Amino acid sequence: MTRRAFFLPLVLAVASMAALLGGCRAKTYSEPVSRAGKKILRVGYFPNITHAQGVIGSTLTAEKKGWFEERLGPDVEIQWFVYNAGPSAMEAIFTDSVDLTYVGPSPALNAFIRARGDDIRIVSGSARGGAALLVRPGAGIEKPEDFRGKKLATPQLGNTQDVAARAWLKAQGFHMTQLGGDVFVLPTANPDQLALFKQGQIDAVWTVEPWVTRIETEAGGSVYLEQPDVVTTVLVASKKALDHRSELIGRFVKAHHELTDWTVAHPAEAQAIVQRGLTAIVHREVPLKLVSAAWKRLTFSNDITLHSIEGLVADARGLGFIRGDVELQPLIHILQ
């Protein structure tokens, strides 16, 4: 692949991010109701093991065994929406396309600050760990300085792994820009990362499960760096949804907490449901052993504090993803 071919997706990603951050947001909120008169709650998630609670919830809804439906009651309908990376999920929050979504902390922080503290609140923790930096055999990467001039892929410009990768490279002394620098950081969809890694077109990947395990087992990638204690996934809500439907959002969050506790207590059952859910989304069999291997890198937890994400704020600001000062305290909205 030529450098021009590599840079085209990156330019498009920058344009997409600019459109999101500068685009119009919905000014009013209309509470969605089904034809049968049920309250509709719209929830987003990613087809990743790091979003296990979302995958489990949507899978059980599809199988008519709804975890959330059982706890929210017969007058509530849950609608699930799949996103592939944080900025698109944040756009859905801004445009009132969803009421809540599972997402990485970096897009949530960026959206909160760009909206000057409006539109979005983190209402619960969800997962830690599950992300890693992998290097390709034969890429000649053994120590940090070996990354100079190399091509490193991340899932999407400005997402949690993209910010982590750029911040780590900057900390190693590399000059980093969004479109170049001493290391070429290339926002690339996860499935394409695997193919390019196999072809030797990229030298390293900073990604998230199940792709960490897939690149490790299918492409011979070596894990260079892990951050097991870093927040990977949070549950966020639209502020307008919170303002208009606080009681309903609170019940969903309570059900999410119960699901997290169940997931920790019943890992084998949880993995089986996630395997079925991911298989249905990608339309091909996702091996249970892949889910089980990836699970070992994750910690599912409802805990979330401002302190746990302050490092992400500093990283994003240092990279230019966040500009200006906004009071961060309102970002965490713990429902009682």
The total number of structural domains in the chain stands at 2
Q: Tell me the percentage of the chain whose pLDDT exceeds 90.
A: 67
With respect to residue 336, please indicate whether it lies within any of the assigned structural domains: no
Radius of gyration of the chain (CA): 19
pTM: 0.85
Specify the higher pLDDT residue, 43 or 158. Answer: 43
Distances (CA, A) of 18 to 93, 188, 239, 261, 313: 16, 17, 22, 38, 19
Q: Tell me the percentage of the chain whose pLDDT exceeds 70.
A: 90
pLDDT of 59 over the 50 cut = yes
With respect to residue 239, please indicate whether it lies within any of the assigned structural domains: yes
With respect to residue 241, please indicate whether it lies within any of the assigned structural domains: yes
CA angle 59, 63, 69 (to 5 degrees): 80
pLDDT digits (tens, 9 = 90+) for 63-105: 999 999 999 999 999 999 999 878 889 999 999 999 999 999 9
Question: How many Cα atoms sit within 13 Å of 286 on the Cβ side?
Answer: 26
- Describe the chain by its helix, strand, coil percentages, rounded to 5: 45, 20, 30
Per-residue pLDDT, averaged over 267-286, amounts to: 97
CB-based contacts of 133: which residues, under 8 Å, 6+ apart?
A: 152, 165, 168, 204, 205, 206, 223, 224, 225, 226
Per-residue pLDDT, averaged over 28-36, amounts to: 78
101 phi, psi to nearest 5 deg: -155, 145
CB-based contacts of 180: which residues, under 8 Å, 6+ apart?
A: none
Confidence of residue 25 (pLDDT cuts 50, 70, 90): low
Q: Are 13 and 192 in contact (CB under 8 A)?
A: no
Per-residue pLDDT, averaged over 98-124, amounts to: 91
56/274 Cα distance (integer angstroms) = 6
pLDDT of 317 over the 50 cut = yes
List the single range of 18-27, 92-101, 124-133, 327-336 with lowest mean pLDDT. 18-27
Considering the domain architecture, whether residues 78 and 107 belong to the same structural domain is answered as yes
Considering the domain architecture, whether residues 209 and 69 belong to the same structural domain is answered as no
Considering the domain architecture, whether residues 114 and 251 belong to the same structural domain is answered as yes
End residue of a domain, out of 200, 226, 252: 226
pLDDT digits (tens, 9 = 90+) for 226-258: 988 899 999 999 999 999 999 999 999 999 999
Considering the domain architecture, whether residues 42 and 92 belong to the same structural domain is answered as yes
- Domain that residue 303 falls in: 23-128+232-331
Confidence of residue 27 (pLDDT cuts 50, 70, 90): low
End residue of a domain, out of 226, 258, 273: 226
Considering the domain architecture, whether residues 193 and 215 belong to the same structural domain is answered as yes
pLDDT score, position 107: 87
Considering the domain architecture, whether residues 280 and 303 belong to the same structural domain is answered as yes
CATH classification of the domain holding 150: 3.40.190.10
Q: Which of 49, 139, 54, 58 is nearest to 102 (CA)?
A: 54
First to last CA, the chain: 53
Instruction: Measure the CA dihedral 202/280/208/161, to 10°.
Output: 80
Q: Which of 39, 88, 66 is nearest to 245 (CA)?
A: 39
pLDDT digits (tens, 9 = 90+) for 196-219: 999 999 999 999 899 999 999 999
105/198 Cα distance (integer angstroms) = 29
pLDDT digits (tens, 9 = 90+) for 134-193: 999 999 999 999 999 999 999 888 888 898 999 999 999 999 887 778 999 999 998 899
Confidence of residue 13 (pLDDT cuts 50, 70, 90): very low
pLDDT of 48 over the 60 cut = yes
Q: What is the mean pLDDT of the chain?
A: 89
CA 152 to chain centre: 19
End residue of a domain, out of 226, 253, 271: 226
